Each structure stands twice: as structure tokens, then as C-alpha cells.
Amino acid sequence: METTYRVIYGDTDTGGVMYYGNYLRLFEIGRTELLRAHGLTYREIEEHEGLILPVVEAHVRYKAPARYDDLLTIETRLTEVKPHRVRFDYEVKREGRLLVQGYTVHVPVNREGRLSRFPERLLRNLESLLESGR
């Protein structure tokens, strides 16, 4: 799935390029919109399933900088679904040029903070998203 984002001045450092940590925010934007496009929201997962999905691993590879006012495309794919974890892969591009690529791994945690399994219905929903290739 593709989502666009325009770099705001507050995203940049004194060199006029996007601060490296802000790419993780772009990953979150892409991930949230991918789930939303398939009828899932973090709010629903929290409220109906009693789960949160913290990031337990993140990897970012920087290839070229984004700058103030650039219009970026965030490409997000769900690439792994297991009963105890999911992985999302990302590419951030400007006019088709790859700037950043990476991934995040998330685990379901219950309200008490303990590792949990995805409920069967949610697991099936995530697996269908994986199978759709989006």
C-alpha cells in the first residue's frame, strides 16, 4: 500500500534534511494506513481484543536524504504473520527514488503487559492481508 507524506519544517534538522528518527514515524503512518485500508485500526485492536502491538525490533537503512517540502511515498507491506508476531516492511521514496528502507516487528501484548497470541479472527484477518500482497 502507498501513502504520501509531505516533509514539514519540524521534521528537518539544522542541515535541512529530515532527522533520521522521523523515518520511524513514517513507518508508523504507513503501517496504520495499511491496516486502516483493510478494516483494522489500532484502536479497535486495543478496545476489542485487549491487545497492543509494541515494536520489538526495528531496522532502517538510509540511502538518500529527504528535505523540507519533499512529497514522499511510503510503501508498506505486511511480510510475516505468526501467532506471536508480525513484520511490516517499508520503502520511502521521492519521485520513485528509494530514500529509506526498513522493517518493524510487533508482538501482541495484553493489558497486563504479557506476551499473548493473536486471537484467531485477528490472525486470519492479518493472514489475508499478507496473502493479498499489499
Residue 92: strand pairing partners = 74, 100
Q: What is the C-alpha separation between 60 and 102, in angstroms, rounded?
A: 4
Question: What's the DSSP call for residue 5?
Answer: E
Is 13 assigned a catalytic role? Answer: yes
What would the DSSP string read from start to end of 85-109?
EEEEEEEEEETTEEEEEEEEEE--E
Options 13, 69, 70, 89, the catalytic residue: 13
Q: What is the set of active-site residues?
A: 13
